[in-house]
A = this chain, B = another copy of it.
Amino acid sequence: MATLFETAYNWEPYLNLGTRQFVKAKSVIYEQGSIGDGFYYLHKGLVRIVTATAKGKDRILNIVVPGQSLGVQIMDQRAHFTTAQAVKDSVLYFFPCDQFKELIAKHPELRVVFAQTVIHKMRILLEGINLNALTSEQQIAVLLLNIFDDFKNHEVPLTQQDLANSTGLTRITVYKILKQWKKEGIIEIQDRKFQILMPQLLRNLVKETTP
């Protein structure tokens, strides 16, 4: 996936209409294949959206940061096609489907917010597809750039394996690219946390279109 992270849509005024839930790090919020009966809004914490590809390998589609919602696709009353997993201890607000209908009746402006949310998810998925047209180096570059755009002050708990799972590459490939970049001084790694020293170089990597 590409834009791992999305901009928030304004759900805050309606939070009191949902039910608050606390989940522990690593626990599953909803699982691919299960039929849920509502969607969630992430208030605090961090949630990872993954999908099981054929071959069992998980693929990270999206990292949800506070202010965003997850599981909206359940509104069509079919099984979830992704799994949501808390990365940190998180606080969520849950909105059941049927209750949401009433909500919309009372607050028609929510319809727009909801539509935007869903469509934004579509954009994220599409970027995930477009990512595959790039070289592996470019894929990681796009990924890192997006991460640092969205996580400015947050801590980013992405391992090499996570980067691999976000792109469909192998950990070894990710490692090699990172190593190279470290040598070139583009990035810095300390305590297994990334820092981009020269983002412009990464951007150049991506921009170099058809020569």
Beyond the given pairs A54-B134, A59-B130, A125-B125, 10 more chain A to chain B contacts, judged by CB atoms under 8 angstroms and listed by A's residue number, are A51-B126, A51-B130, A54-B133, A54-B138, A61-B126, A76-B116, A81-B126, A121-B122, A132-B132, A132-B168
Contact B125–A75 (Cβ < 8 Å): no
Task: Known contacts A128-B129, A129-B61, A168-B132; decide if A209 and B118 are in contact (CB<8 Å).
Answer: no
Alpha-carbon distance between A210 and B56 when the two chains are bound, in angstroms: 7
* Chain A binding surface SS class: helix
Q: Say whether A120 faces chain B, with CB atoms less than 8 Å apart.
A: yes
A111 at the interface (CB under 8 A from B): yes
Contacts of A134 in B (CB 8 A): 53-55
Taking CB atoms, residues of chain B closer than 8 Å to A104 are: 111
Complex: how many Å from CA A210 to CA B129? 24
Q: Which of A17-64 contact B (CB under 8 A)?
A: 51, 53-57, 59, 61
A125 to B130, CA, bound (A): 11
Check if A1 is an interface residue, CB within 8 A of chain B: yes
Q: Is the CB of A76 within 8 A of B120?
A: yes
Distance (Å) between the CB of A196 and the closest chain B CB? Answer: 19
Tell me the smallest distance from the CB of A58 to a CB of chain B, in Å: 10
**Interface size, A (range):** 35 or more
Answer whether A122 and B73 are a contact pair too, CB < 8 Å, given A129-B1, A129-B129, A130-B53: yes
A82 within 8 A of B: yes
Ranked nearest first, the 7 interchain pairs of A and B with the lowest CB-CB distance are: A53-B133, A125-B125, A76-B119, A76-B116, A53-B130, A128-B129, A73-B119
Chain B residues near A115: list those with CB within 8 A.
75-76, 118
Cβ-based interface call for A158 (8 A): no
Which residue of chain B has the shortest Cβ distance to A117 in the bound complex? Answer: B76
Provide the bound-state CA to CA distance between A128 and B53, in Å: 11
Residue of B nearest to A58 (CB): B133
